[in-house]
Amino acid sequence: MEEIVSKIKDSGNKIKENVEKVIVGKGDVVELAIVALLCEGHILIEDIPGIGKTVLAKALARSLGCSFRRIQCTPDLLPSDITGTYIFNQKTNDFEFRPGPVMAQIVLTDEINRATPRTQSALLEAMQERQVTVEGETRPLPRPFMVLATQNPIELEGTFPLPEAQLDRFLIKIKIGYPTADDDRLILTRFRQDDPLEKLSPVVSTEELLQMQSACRNVHVSSDLEDYIVRLIHATREHPSIQLGASPRAMLALYHTAQALAALRGRPFVIPDDVKYIVNFVLTHRIIPKAESFLKGKNAEQALSEILASVPVPVENETGRK
């Protein structure tokens, strides 16, 4: 297992270094995106325009040699614009299926909260079941398959907030944030003449990625650490500031992302720090604070910090076992 994990770490570093040729100073964000890839999960990026959300999605696709499609969400976007539809072909005198952009391997859904709830729900089956159903016919989606959805937290006029069922389909939620002054200077240097994104080439094949995804499920998690994850999840359901706690799907997401993070960092076992590092990205968008707590300025991140401080951490030795 150690040899397999070493290969995952090496391949993960190749992807990370390749993406960081265009995404400057955001190594933690790139690492989280790779974690989502290894877990076959989806990413929700909530941040202001112009900080590299689209570039991140394109760079990941180019680094893996995956097909890439972009969906620009607008209020008049229809479900068939995403999934595809049947078109009558006059040459064959028959209807033929024209696949929608969701049939690609990496799909960027830009400003997802500008699409209507009906259109947003068209993504549910694709994200959870890895398939789409059009005119009663079910079609499998390619593997690997990942949706990167973005939403602008500033402009809320004319938007449709994602319902809890849709949010729960996203494995992690991240914010990219502004670069530092030094990073801005480096961006000016790299993008002065040419766009380095156009020069990116695949560094890991899709077949290798599929093998990495399967191997991550074998990363060891001790029974004490499993109990720790369960206690964290139950604490979100019992916390006085939280109205809606984490679901079993959220628990599995926390478990598998901790496995993927451990593998990326070269360990065949999960340690408590892996869980503590990833928990905010996995659970923040899945729990709902009570109205009175929200009015007092307490958000989901603060509630999770209190939970992490209150739940006892298991003592693990260097092999990940108590």
Could you tell me the domains of the chain? 2-180+205-212 (3.40.50.300), 219-310 (1.10.8.80)
Rounded CA gap, 263 and 18, in Å? 19
Q: Which of 66, 67, 69, 61 is nearest to 18 (CA)?
A: 61
Q: What is the pLDDT along the chain (322 residues), one digit of tens a residue?
A: 888 899 999 999 999 999 999 999 999 999 999 999 999 999 999 888 888 889 999 999 999 999 999 999 999 999 999 999 888 888 888 888 889 999 999 999 999 989 998 888 888 888 988 988 888 888 899 999 999 999 887 766 768 888 888 889 999 999 998 999 999 999 999 888 888 888 899 999 999 999 999 999 999 999 999 999 999 999 999 999 899 899 999 999 999 999 999 999 999 999 999 999 999 999 999 998 888 876 677 788 899 999 999 999 988 554 555 5
CA distance linking residue 60 with residue 15, whole number of Å: 8
Angle in degrees, CA 218, 220, 222, rounded to 5: 145
Q: Which of 60, 139, 147 is nearest to 112 (CA)?
A: 147
Rounded Cα distance between 235 and 222, Å, is: 20
* CA angle 218–205–81, rounded 5-degree value: 100
The pLDDT score that the predictor gives to residue 86 is: 85
> What is the C-alpha separation between 49 and 46, in angstroms, rounded?
10
> Residue 144, preceding bond cis, omega within 30 degrees?
yes
pLDDT number for residue 216: 94
Encode 224-251: b = buried (16+ Cβ within 10 Å), e = exposed: ebeebbeebbebbeebebbeebbbeebb
| pLDDT at residue number 20 | 94
pLDDT at 300: 86
- 301: part of which helix (H) or strand (E)? helix 300-310
Q: Which pLDDT value is given to residue 124?
A: 83
Beta bridge partners of 134: 137
Does the N-terminal peptide bond of residue 248 adopt cis geometry, omega within 30 degrees of 0?
no
This prediction has a pTM of: 0.90
Max Cα separation, the chain?
70
* Rg of the chain over all Cα atoms, to the nearest angstrom: 21
Token representation of residue 73 = 């969400």
* Of 94, 121, 106, the residue nearest 53 (C-alpha): 106
Report residue 236 as tokens: 């979100």
64 contacts 144 by C-beta, under 8 angstroms: yes
Q: Tell me which amino acid residue 201 is.
A: S
Q: Is beta strand 106-110 parallel, antiparallel or unpaired with respect to 146-151?
A: parallel
CA distance 262 to 273: 10
